[in-house]
Every structure is written in C-alpha cells, then in structure tokens.
C-alpha cells in the first residue's frame, strides 16, 4: 500500500506531504524512543509516535522512513513542519492512540494476516 | 575526502544535521544504501551523545576509497565505566533528555551494531574520543 492510500484509508491529517507520497510501505513501527527507531526500523516503514519535536524528522530522514504518524491529535510546532518540508519527510497525524493506529496500519498493510516485518 | 563538523552541547534543535549532511555526501558518491544507513545511524547516535552529555564536540569524517573513518572528540565529563556504558538500557541522561525519547541506553549498542569497528577512549574529566570505521565493499 502506498502512503497516499494509507492517508485516505485512516483519514490522517497531512502536516507535510513530503517528497513522495507514492512510496510503497514495507511495514510499520510504533515507538517513542528515538534510538529504538534508529536501531530497528527498515526503509519505507511508517513510524507511529507521540513524539512531535524536531528530532523525529532527522531520524525518519536518516532511516529512509516513508512517513511519520503523530498520535493523540498533537500538532507539531511550525519548525518541525518546516524541517519535514526541507527534508522531504511525509508528516501525518491522527486523533487516535498508538495501539489503535498500529492496529489499523497493520490491517491496511497485512490484511491477509501473512505480513511480516 | 575530509569533512568537519562542530557540535554544541545541549543544542537538540540542530542535533542530527551533521549526520544528514554526511548522508547527502555519501549518496552523491553512489555508495550502497545499506552502508550509508549504517554509517549515518552510527554518526547520529554519536552526535546525540555529544549534545546530551558534553559541552561541545568535533566530528571529523575521512572518506577513503575502501573505508569511512569517523572521529568524534568531545569536551565533556567523560565516561567513568565504559563497560557499563556499553550495556543496553544503561544511561546517565537527564530526565529532560529522556522525555524527548533519547537516553534509553541504546545509543552506544546501536553504534556498535552499525559499525565495522568502534573504539572509545575516555577519562572522567577530560572528554571522550570515539572512532568509528565502516568498510566500503565494491
């Protein structure tokens, strides 16, 4: 599934569209520890987090993540959105929490139940 | 090719900019994307360590035909017990740093996993020198 399709399916808020919403998602990762994300994610994953500060953009950029979803309806500060724009990162948001968001993303990506990361 | 970066202790706003710049350079050299990711993950973690723990630091990157050498030298408190610092989950980061999602005791283990060679020299009170080397396979 492409990032743009996930946005539509989960009705996500687009804070910054980034350079490529047609990236094919390979999986997802839910964590609020930046080093955990640095260590464990793979390229083209979507990252679900409640962190909304500027450092999440560097992490997503360095790890070639497809998008970030910020949970709990939090709106990132303008400098974070500007940084996402500069780095070409797709920055999204949802009112939902991490657990439900991860479940919905999983359903979208691996609805046949065979998905692996 | 040589690259030099300065890092300001406590400046989380700009943390990661050196690593992002290095990534662009390595990409322009058409190096393997897996090697680029491993290298910038190592450098990012080292960069964040300086921001979180030291007062200032310098990063020197030397890109050779067969290897990438990164040396991070900081003016900071040093690491009293290296073996303990290398343990997953051990951290001396402040509560404010932890709230941002750093300081989970995963940085140094991440560097070790994402580098072919890693060496730390540190004395309490006189700062830390970290060397990271990644092989370029062609």
Name the pLDDT band for A111 (thresholds 50, 70, 90): confident
Render B73-91 in DSSP notation, one character per residue.
Answer: EEES---S-HHHHHSTT--
pLDDT band at B138 (very low <50, low <70, confident <90, very high): confident
Ramachandran quadrant class, A70 (left: phi over 0; alpha: psi -120 to 50; beta: rest): beta
Contact assessment for residue A68 and residue A56, using Cβ atoms and an 8 Å cutoff: yes
Residue A53 belongs to a domain with what CATH number?
3.40.1390.20
Find the residue in A nearest to B40 (Cα): A62
Q: List Cβ neighbours of B26 (8 Å cut-off, separation of 6 or more).
A: B35, B36, B39, B40, B63, B68
Does residue A115 belong to any structural domain of this protein? no
Contacts of residue A33 in chain B, CB cutoff 8 Å? 101, 104, 106
Q: What is the pLDDT of residues B34-80, one digit of tens each?
A: 999 999 999 999 999 999 999 999 999 999 999 999 999 999 999 99
Using CB atoms, which residue from A55, A61, A62 is nearest to B12? Answer: A55
Task: Give me the domain span that covers residue A77.
Answer: 3-109
Residue A81: how many other CB atoms lie within 10 Å: 17
Q: Any idea what the Cα angle at residue A57 is, between residues B48 and B53, rounded to 5°?
A: 15
Which residues are within 8 A (CB) of B85 and not within 5 positions of it... i.e. 6 or more apart?
B79, B108, B120
For the stretch B14-42, what's the b/e string if a residue is b when 16 or more beta carbons lie within 10 angstroms of its beta carbon? ebbebbbebbeebeeeebeeebbbbbbbb
Structure token digits, residue A20: 């490529």
Q: CATH number for the B2-135 domain, one of 3.60.15.10, 3.30.565.10, 3.20.20.70, 3.30.460.10?
A: 3.30.565.10
> Does residue A117 form part of some domain?
no
Nearest chain B CA: its distance from A52 CA (Å): 9
pLDDT of B69: 98
Q: What is the pLDDT of residue A112?
A: 63
Q: Which residues of A touch B101 (CB under 8 A)?
A: 32-35, 49, 51, 55
Q: Is the complex ipTM higher than 0.95?
A: no
Identify the pLDDT of residue B135.
97
Q: Locate all alpha helices (DSSP H) within chain B, ordered by sequence.
A: 17-28, 33-53, 82-86, 95-99, 107-113
């Amino acid at each position: 599934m492409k990032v743009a399709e996930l946005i539509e399916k989960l009705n996500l808020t687009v804070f910054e569209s980034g350079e490529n919403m047609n990236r094919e998602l390979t999986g997802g990762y839910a964590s609020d520890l930046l080093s955990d994300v640095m260590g464990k994610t793979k390229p083209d994953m979507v990252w679900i987090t409640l962190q909304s500060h500027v450092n999440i953009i560097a992490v997503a950029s360095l790890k070639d993540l497809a998008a970030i979803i910020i949970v709990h309806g939090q709106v990132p500060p303008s400098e974070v959105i500007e940084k996402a724009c500069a780095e070409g990162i797709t920055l999204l948001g949802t009112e939902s929490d991490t657990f439900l968001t991860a479940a919905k993303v999983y359903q979208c990506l691996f609805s046949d139940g065979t998905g692996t990361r | 090719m040589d690259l030099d970066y300065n890092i300001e202790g406590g400046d989380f706003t700009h943390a990661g900019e050196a690593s992002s710049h290095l990534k662009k350079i390595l990409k322009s050299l058409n190096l393997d994307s897996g090697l680029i990711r491993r290298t910038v993950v190592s450098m990012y973690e080292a960069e964040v360590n300086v921001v979180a723990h030291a007062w200032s630091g310098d990063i020197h990157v030397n890109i050779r035909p067969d290897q990438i050498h990164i040396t991070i030298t900081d003016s900071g408190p040093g690491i009293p017990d290296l073996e303990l610092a290398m343990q997953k989950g051990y951290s001396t980061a402040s509560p404010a740093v932890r709230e941002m999602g750093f300081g989970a005791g995963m940085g140094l283990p991440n560097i070790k996993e994402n580098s072919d060679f890693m060496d730390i020299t540190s004395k309490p009170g006189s700062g830390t020198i970290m060397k990271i080397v990644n092989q370029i396979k062609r």
